[in-house]
Structure 1
């Protein structure tokens, strides 16, 4: 018995009931939805081994320096007020606009 991963979404009637299988769904190779649709699945171990090469390590090896983005990256506009100086508040289900001076 092997675990299979769906590679292409499909819908089928299986044992008299409609069944939708989405990409990434895992089934056993003994499942009725797998039989006759083998081309829509791959072995889960194949998928995992293909994905494992993409993992990023969280830390550097000993004595290795990591390059980090500058502290300014991704902080565009941080700490600056937006051009919109009005504020919407909700009291008892009713919205009210309040202007700031």
Structure 2
């Protein structure tokens, strides 16, 4: 997935550590947080399909929904998408955990 490489991630369930500058400089974030901040529902759908956890918290305790609500664009669809997947982890996520 190009989105992961473009934003410095190696996997949908691996965090990107603080880099020292920029918006996410003080906390470790996951791909779903970046996609939520961008209000990109297509990327969020792809991340969820690959096993991203919609309830994943950053090192500061924020969720993807928190990022979406303060994101760049209309967050209505993104928030609804995240909420609809909250609590129901995909089969691929479960397989990775075993």
TM-based fold match above 0.5: no
Question: What range describes the TM-score normalised by the shorter chain of this pair?
Answer: under 0.3
More strand by proportion, 1 or 2?
1
Under a length normalisation based on structure 1, what TM-score does the superposition of the two structures give?
0.21
Under a length normalisation based on structure 2, what TM-score does the superposition of the two structures give?
0.21
Decide which structure has the larger Cα Rg and report it. Answer: 1
